[in-house]
Structure 1
Amino acid sequence: MAAAAMCPGPMKATSQGAFQGENPLDYALPLAILQICLVVVVTRGLAYLLRPLRQPRVIAEIIGGILLGPSALGRSHRFLHAVFPAQSMTVLDTLANIGLLFFLFLVGLELDISAIRRTGKKALAIALAGISAPFALGIGTSFAFRATIVKGTPQGPFLVFMGVALSITAFPVLARILAELKLLTTDLGRMAMSAAAVNDVAAWILLALAIALSGSGSPIVSLWVLLTAAGFVVAVSLFLRPVLAWMARRSPEGEPVKEVYICATLAIVLAAGFVTDTIGIHALFGAFMVGIVVPKDGPFAGVLIEKVEDLISGLLLPLYFVSSGLKTDVATIKGAKSWGLLVLVIANACLGKIGGTVITSLLVKIPVREAVTLGFLMNTKGLVELIVLNIGRDRKVLNDEAFAILVLMALFTTFITTPIVMAIYKPARRAVPYKRRTVECAAGDADGELRVLACFHTNRHIPTLLNLVEASRGTARRRLTMYAMHLVELSERSSAISLVQRARRDGMPFFSGGKEQRAEQVVVAFEAFQQLSSVRVRAMTAISDLDTIHRDVIDSAADKRAAIVVMPYHRALGHDGSFASLGSAYHAVNKRVLREAPCSVAILVDRGLGGHAQVSAKNVSFSVAVLFFGGPDDREALAYATRMAEHPGVAVTLARLQPSRPPLLDEAESGPTRPRWRRSRPGSGP
């Protein structure tokens, strides 16, 4: 009875208010609201502070969870009992796991398993080496743990959990790091992401094995768990996939997805989680499997992401990091042996992952610098690492001290990735200083080739760009190459990983349902224009945050030796004829490009030049006016207009404004000017 009296009773949901003499923090709902607000403020604040170091947000979330736990603020019993009392942990853990459940559904939704078959042999070899080497060292490390701080733990499950913990590569976190370092669309980035995807799928399979082995039953029970889990996977593939495909077919492009389909899919996610939890392999696997079998064609998958993502990644998922942080007590790491184990596990994690990746990369003829960089990139940890460790702790495979050591290992290995990669991998620039190019200089080249880097944010910019380039192609003797660069903002949302799919779909196992259709429309538009005109078109993608995306434009202009960069105006024309601002960030991008570009820059103000792109000379009919006041900018505009005047369907009118006579000193500021007009007929030249 005494023990029963000490147990805290269940919390009621809502209070009657402070004016009734009640403490709102003694009730579940106001306490949960306070916890969520505190978590969001702390994690977002840390993310802002770590932004200059280019650290992924998961670092801030892990640190925030540790700071709110018993390692820092939680050392104050008054704070811990007031904000995170023991009786509230059931509600907190439930909300955190619901957020994690739907996050794993999103991960499955964005992962295209069939694309893994297209993974190159090099990436596959690197992935296998990046799994096997650290897994083997993890097994070796587990013996040191069992001999010191983890005595009495079942050997089999502990070996597997340690191996999985050291061999994981977090591909969502890796994608963020690659994007921050502007390596996402490089060959190195593609290799890293392909290998990380294979690694991640293998880690989930090994985790399922570890969970099955960690049960308290006999080996026969573990075998039944694995067989039932395999049966669940088969059932989902055979029976659930057709149902979801039927919903996707009834959600065509251009029409809103019915709410009943969205609700039904989310209910299926919860039901699948219930089934796999009942089987004994954790609810996360069910949600992950549902995400994998959702059809990726059409808008259905994209709408699901948009409906679920913000709430989950913004509010509920950070609770999981806090739930993990509340279990992480750095103070449990005591004595030289424990700190020595921390150094040992970090060394083995780095040696296994980096060493295995580097050696294999060198064997497949990857240069040394790229191989070392790839090794550090593959050593990135993240949310999946925390999932493995928390499951191991909940299953009594890891004690508090081992759990804290492995969390610090994951934090350290991820934290060092960005600065080390920045230090050792700096893509070589041209040794010869880049000569500033202009349209005027390009006109004097032997072949008269004009290279245009045309940038766009959305699809509605494309018709205007194509019409502009068509009008600028000149005669058949003068070549024109258009580099069409799609400027994609790298957001903080969890599905930023799907941006990899938009950059390089071939051989990369990622998918973003709703955005794929729009990406295909872009490709079709440029391919059709290239086939019907004499203009060479090369599609490119820049994925970065708006604060640094101008560097992608500037570097691409230098690499492609562009004579002119065309940037979209930061205001968009509305249906009523007025301009609406796209945001100050887009304006800032244009100003940075104007200031730092190695060539001429044009700001394209779209006032209706778009519509259907005209690629046949007989159908093009444009009238172009050039106001010439003098100076280098006007001479560049005149050179561009001269090229446009060569097109048989373009009429150019030149208005040169100059003083009517040499001004006297007192007339220099206010003397009248007299315009001089010159008009070129279509096809006659300027």
Structure 2
Amino acid sequence: MHFFMILLKPLRQPRFVSQLMASILVGPTFLGSIFYWERDPFRWMNLFPYEQSMLLESYANLGVTYYMFLVGLEMDLSNLKHTRKKSWSIAFAGFFIPFVVGAILYFVPLVNDRPERDQNYVGALFWAITLSITSFPDVARTLSDVKLLHTELGTIALSSALITDILTWLFLVLAIVISDENLHSITLSLVPIFCFITVSFFGLHPLITWMLQHTKNKQGKFSNKLSDTLIYIILMGVAVSGFITDACGSHSLVGGFVFGLIIPKGEFAIEVMEKTEEFVSGILLPGFLICSGIRTDFRNLVKETKWSSVGMITTIATSAKIVSTLVVSSSFRMSLKEGLTLGSLMNIKGVFALVVLNEGRNLKTLNEVYMVVMVFIILMMTCLVRPILMLINCTRKHSSHSKLRTIQASKPNSELRVLTCIHSGQNISGIIHLLEVSNSTRESPICVFAAHLVELTERASAILILHDKLKTSTTPSLSQGKSQPDHYIFSAFENYKIGNESVSLHPLSVLSPYTTMHEDISKVAEDKAVTIILIPFHKQPTADGGLQGENKTIKYVNKNLLAKAPCSVGILVDRGLGSSKLSKSLSSDKLPELQLAMLFIGGPDDHEALSYAWRMARKEGVILTVVRFRPSIDGKNNENESCYSIKEDENKVEFDDDDYINLFRFKSMYDKSITYLEKRVKSSNELEKAIGELYSNFDLYIVGRGRGVKSPLTDGLIDGGDSQELGVIGDTLISSKFTAHASVLVVQQSASSEIMDDSLPPSESNFKQKKWASPVLNPEYEAKYGKEQEERLLMGRICRHGLHEESIKM
């Protein structure tokens, strides 16, 4: 199985395809057909002799029972009340139309000189159910791979897959029960099964909920020992439930599935899944797959079937869901591409389909040839879905064609849209404190998209996925389906929002493999028109100001995000962020100053960092000091050097740091909370020394990452190692003992952005310091911008001091 997984990984095929192909390989189609194994000297090479088949069958049934328990465990029925009409319509069409088509195709002659078929037509029901199946966990994984998980289309596909899965299980239970043609036996099976389901939902479910609530400690968590004991009890309950349903005339998998449904969804359910999923899918379930493989002989497909009939059935069966989804989606005015994408997603099969087929064969309602044909159809459907989806969506517009957003290019009173990325509870405090000093006002509000980053595994996050897609507008306190980390994280953001009408909050979860998580973050940022993404550093601070506990997965995500993000990115190295001063400034009339420093070297990243620091300086109790370091040659000030310049395409537009600094100084000249300093240094050693001796008494340093900047001031600084994503200045700040007490925010302007300040057209940028000692002395600048700036400054004083416009006029 692992060999096929490695072989098919470049084609992005799911694990189910690898497992199915491996089971077929060890069956009679290939390895099982070697006649040498029937001879005495080679009999030891027979992997699965007939004498041990009953033991393998029992092992397979146990694996299926626990697999069905996990399927039920990841289904949250409460999500159905949040599902919209569009999803219900697509789910019903995607289930019932293939169901009818499958039942009709069952009666198409497939075998040459076919003998008279058994009169038990329940086999048509199993065929129909198999064609109607849509595997919800595999749909989630596929959506993540093709980067559609966080789209409206992904929401519809996930909710439709959940409804289809539930309908499939209802019909499977019915098919197992009515497989016996004796009406009396059917009645004797249906009544006990109905009683078992009723007792489970209205008796066992409240009992388990009560037990979980009364075994938590004061912090609302389970101790490790108690948690393991509860998991053992749950696993024993699965076996007992399977035994009961088997004794009632059904199958043990029904009991396992129902028992999974009644487990309360939340922290405990996810913990059970995390601790048992690898054992079930890696040890127990392969026994079922191997058992299916050794009982499926693809040679019958070649020898006995009519290939014309097989081709016709495969074509009709494959296109039934796509056509039905297209018809329904067109009624909701969805595009052809969206309809094809949904139809392809609804065709995804999984282990669930094999379970249905094997039950049909075990109950002797499915002919062997019909079993092989359906396995072939399932394999074809599953293998073709992802290439089709990649082909359909390869023409999507990418972020490079959309308008890229930066703080520098934003209007003064525009909304700041921030995407915060949280990996764990350790990242919350620093990010929230940073948002608090970002100066949300009625004139310039902040819209926060609080994203909890969760690794998407094969199965374990399916509860989180659908809950996030259906309940993104609900408050965290109402999030019954989310894990405890999600609840804790979103509650912290909700507390930040309370009492601040100028902040809007949108919690969400980004579920993706770490290897492609940056793509999902970028997609969310693009869809939400985010201005800046705030992410934590990959190390945690120590008590003495050092850093420890490197997280390579966070580092990998940060590195890729810096290279691909469609907007600005800020990396926060959190060392407290002056939280004590901030809390005092918010709770008392006195205003202890939160000291911010922006160290300016040059380049677009420094422009963006200064723009963000400038916004923070408008908040009460925040003092900003901007220090511009300039090179000095042989002890003489060089007035004409430029720290940074860049040429863009054929326009050859040159961006001078002097222009941006002069604009900043002019606009902030009346702001007493902002101090501008210039320091000339000869080398990187002097720069590092100046930071340590003169500019070390700050709570937060805001610096640019320095991408693309070549300056003599930074030539000697170390750029590399574990802190390469922070740039040379950021790395210097976190490494220096003089600044070990302070937090550091490293800002990078969008890697693909047009480095241009719309408020200062380069063609008219003639206000350089080499001509004018101060921007105020420039008559051309005053004539063009003076009146506008005077009005803005007046309104700024009104907002800062709480004055009313009427009193100003008087």
TM-score scaled to structure 2, two decimals? 0.72
Over 3 Å counting, the alpha-carbon distance change for 1:668 and 1:435 in structure 2 is farther
Cα gap change, 1:590 to 1:658, in 2 (>3 Å):
same
Counterpart residue number, 2:775: none
* Deviation (angstroms), 1:230: 1.4
Count of residues in Structure 1 that have an aligned counterpart in Structure 2: 635
Q: CA deviation at 1:572?
A: 2.8
Q: Residue 658 of structure 1 aligns to which amino acid in structure 2?
A: R
Correspondent of 1:542 among 510, 516, 537: 510
Take 1:613 and 1:247, find their aligned partners in 2: how far apart are those partners?
Answer: 44
Aligned equivalent of 2:124, options 154, 159, 176: 159
3-state SS of 1:495 partner? coil
- Does residue 32 of structure 2 align to residue 57 of structure 1? no
Q: Which has the larger radius of gyration?
A: 2
C-alpha distance in 2 between matches for 1:119 and 1:613: 46
CA distance in 1, matches of 2:355, 2:377: 14
Deviation digits for residues 34-55 of structure 1 (CA, Å, limit 9, x no counterpart): xxxxxxxxx2332233222222
Tell me if 1:110 matches 2:74.
yes
Q: Return the alpha-carbon distance in structure 1 between the equivalents of residues 58 and 578 of structure 2.
A: 52
Determine helix, strand or coil for the equivalent of 1:630: coil
Residue number among 241, 246, 249 corresponding to 1:280 in the alignment = 249
Displacement of 1:242 = 3.1
C-alpha distance after superposition, 1:14-35 (max 9, x if no partner) = xxxxxxxxxxxxxxxxxxxxxx
2:197 is matched with which residue?
Answer: 233
- Deviations along 1:546-581, one digit per CA (max 9) or x if unpaired, are 111111222333344433322211223467866444
> What is the alpha-carbon distance in structure 1 between the residues aligned to residue 342 and residue 272 of structure 2?
33
- CA separation of 1:369 and 1:555: change in aligned 2, threshold 3 A: same
Which consecutive unaligned segments of at least 5 residues does structure 2 have? 638-680, 701-795, 801-810
Q: Which amino acid aligns with 1:563?
A: T
Within 5 A, what are the aligned runs for 1:177-576?
177-215=142-180, 218-252=182-216, 253-256=220-223, 257-296=226-265, 299-335=267-303, 337-425=305-393, 428-429=396-397, 433-442=401-410, 445-473=411-439, 477-492=443-458, 494-506=459-471, 515-533=482-500, 534-573=502-541
CA distance in 1, matches of 2:576, 2:352: 49
Question: Does the CA contact (< 8 Å) of 1:380 and 1:413 recur in 2?
Answer: yes
Change in Cα spacing, 1:202 to 1:481, as seen in structure 2 (3 Å) is closer
8 Å contact kept, 1:120–1:507: no
* Segment drifting more, 157-166 vs 483-492: 483-492
Matched with 2:623 is 651
Give how far 1:664 is off: 8.0
Larger displacement relative to structure 2 (454-463 or 667-676) = 667-676
Q: Structure 1 pair 465/621, CA: closer, same or farther in 2 (3 Å)?
A: farther
Counterpart CA distance in 2 for 1:182 and 1:669 is: 46
Q: Deviations over 1:432-472 (max 9, x none)?
A: 93454433323xx2524433322221233122111001112
Distance 2:346 2:467 in 1: 22
1:625 corresponds to: 597
Give deviations 1:636-658, integer Å, cap 9, x for gaps. 32332222222222233344433
Check the 8 A contact 1:659/1:671 in 2, yes or no: no
Change in 2 beyond 3 A, CA 1:573/1:73: farther
Partner Cα separation in structure 1 for residue 683 and residue 213 of structure 2: 69
> Structure 1 regions of 5+ residues with no counterpart?
1-42
Report the residue type matching 1:357 in the other structure.
Answer: T
Q: Deviations for 1:405-444, whole angstroms, at most 9, x for unmatched residues? A: 11111111111111112222358437993454433323xx
Deviation of the 1:400 alpha carbon: 2.7
State the one-letter code of the partner of 2:434.
L
The SS at the match of 2:201 is helix
Identity across the alignment (%) = 34
Question: Which stretch shows the higher mean deviation, 413-422 or 305-314?
Answer: 305-314
Matches within 5 A, 1:547-626: 547-573=515-541, 579-609=547-577, 618-619=586-587, 622-626=594-598
Q: Secondary structure at the match of 1:254?
A: coil
Q: CA 1:227 to 1:352, structure 2 compared with 1: closer, same or farther past 3 Å?
A: farther
Match of 1:30 in 2: none
Change (3 A) 1:528 1:99: same
CA 340–611 in structure 1, closer or farther in 2 if over 3 Å, else same? farther
Q: Distance in 2 between matches of 1:227 and 1:269?
A: 21
1:289, distance to aligned residue in structure 2 (A): 0.8
Decide whether aligned partners of structure 1 residues 105 and 395 sit closer, same or farther in structure 2, where only a CA change above 3 A counts.
Answer: same
Contact 1:353 1:375 in 2 (8 A): yes
**What's the offset of the Cα at 1:104?**
1.1
CA contact (8 A) 2:598 2:609 kept: yes
Q: Could you tell me how far apart the structure 2 residues matched to 1:96 and 1:476 are?
A: 63
For the aligned residues, what is the CA RMSD? 3.4
CA distance in 1: counterparts of 2:531 and 2:195, whole angstroms? 60
Partner of 1:5: none
In structure 2, the residue matched to 1:634 is 606
For residues 202 and 634 of structure 1, the distance between their equivalents in structure 2, rounded to whole angstroms, comes to 57
Which protein is richer in helix relative to its size? Answer: 1
Structure 1 residues 643 and 222: CA distance shift in structure 2, 3 A: same
- Structure scoring higher RCO (CA < 8 A, sep ≥ 6) equals 1
**Counterparts of 1:102 and 1:681, CA distance in 2:** 54
Deviates more, 1:239-248 or 1:568-577: 568-577
SS in 2 for 1:262: helix
Structure 1 416/89 Cα, relative in aligned 2: closer, same or farther at 3 Å? Answer: same
* Residues 438 and 241 (structure 1), Cα distance of their counterparts in 2 relative to 1, 3 Å cut: closer
Q: Which moved more, 1:671-680 or 1:112-121?
A: 671-680
Residue 144 of structure 1 aligns to a residue whose secondary structure is: coil
Q: Cα distance, 1:193 vs. partner?
A: 1.8
Equivalent-residue separation in structure 1 for 2:555 and 2:583 (angstroms):
31
Distance 1:370 1:474, change over 3 A: closer
Q: Which moved more, 1:77-86 or 1:586-595?
A: 77-86
Contact 1:482 1:535 in 2 (8 A): yes
Deviation of the 1:396 alpha carbon: 1.9
Kept in 2, the 8 Å contact 1:182–1:544? The answer is no
Q: CA separation in 1, counterparts of 2:429 and 2:618?
A: 21
- The alignment partner of 2:623 has SS state of strand
**CA gap 1:644/1:144 in 2 versus in 1, 3 angstroms:** same
**Cα distance in 1 between the residues matched to 2:581 and 2:15:** 42
Of 468-477 and 399-408, more deviation after overlay is shown by 468-477
Amino acid at match of 1:457: H
* 1:95 match: 59
Match of 1:70 among 7, 11, 28: 28
- The structural deviation recorded for 1:612 is 9.4
Contact 2:632-2:682 at 8 Å conserved across structures: no
Q: Is the 8 A contact 1:554 1:597 kept in 2?
A: yes
Q: How many angstroms does 1:539 deviate by?
A: 2.8
Aligned equivalents of 2:48 and 2:685: distance in 1?
A: 77
Letter of the structure 1 residue corresponding to residue 20 of structure 2: I
**Structure 2: how far apart are the matches of 1:523 and 1:150?**
64
SS in structure 2 at match of 1:537 = strand
Asked if the contact 1:245–1:295 (Cα under 8 Å) also holds between the matched residues in 2, the reply is yes
